[in-house]
Amino acid sequence: MTQPLADMRRDYTRDGLTEANAPVEPFALFTRWFEEAVQTEQAPVEANAMTLATVDGEGRPHCRVLLLKALDAQGFTFFTNYESDKGRHLQANPFAAMTFFWPTLERQVRIEGRVSKVSHEESDAYFQVRPLGSRLGAWASPQSRVIADRAELEGLLKATEQRFSDSQPHCPEHWGGYRLVPERIEFWQGRSSRLHDRLNYRLVDQAWQRERLAP
């Protein structure tokens, strides 16, 4: 290791987050921070990449990186294979958490809530704007299953290409969107000497309550 882990640290001094510059509901603040992340984070950081945590039927947590693909007043939408591990977890336990990390801005956003499938029409509308290779991949890849080797995957893709040689691939039933409807959204802005700003929004009786958390 080139640098001892105990010596790896960075002081965060770029910005602050105060009650005075945060709205009373979190969607406007998320949208503002997201837009700033899109403008500020440099490639290859993808501003819409986030870590999604799910819990399996035995209460064990699992997390992985996904891309946020839609945001509206209802919630935060991502697309995946419904028969994947995460799909099976969400079937058993519909609660999930997502974390965005925007390192240049020294910001993190944590979102927690209940997840449900979007309509097949909504999934199909997004599926149709994906590149052909991604659409074929959604048909070809049995996501999260064990496969023998790379050749098996390429064979599955070849068979899928043949199947759709005369037609456009439509959205498979086993693929689509999930929308997380938030009950908690926390905005974290790094500050100097680990005295970070944390504004937490909680949905209480259909209204957002804002509170400051100790760092």
Ligand X SMILES: Cc1cc2nc3c(=O)[nH]c(=O)nc-3n(C[C@H](O)[C@H](O)[C@H](O)COP(=O)(O)O)c2cc1C
The residues that touch ligand X, with contacts defined as CB under 6 A, are 46, 49, 62, 64-67, 78-80, 84-86, 143-144
Residue 200, Cβ density class (10 Å: 0-12 exposed, 13-18 middle, ≥19 buried): middle
Minimum separation from the CB atom of position 159 to ligand X (A): 21
88 is a catalytic site residue: no
Selected catalytic residue, list 145, 163, 194, 212: 194
Q: Kindly list the distances between the CA atom of residue 88 and the CA atoms of 74, 175, 194, in Å, as whole numbers in the listed order.
A: 23, 13, 38
Q: Which is nearer to ligand X, 90 or 199 (by Cβ)?
A: 90
Which of 17/75 has CB closer to ligand X?
75
Minimum distance from CB of 8 to ligand X (Å)? Answer: 22
Q: Which residues pair with 101 in a beta bridge?
A: 108
Q: Which contiguous run of DSSP H or E holds residue 52?
A: strand 49-55
Q: Pick the closer one to ligand X by CB: 86 or 191.
A: 86
In the complex, the smallest distance separating the C-beta of residue 38 from ligand X, rounded to whole angstroms, is: 15
Cα–Cα distance, 137 to 161 (Å, whole number): 10
Query: What residues are labeled active site?
Result: 194
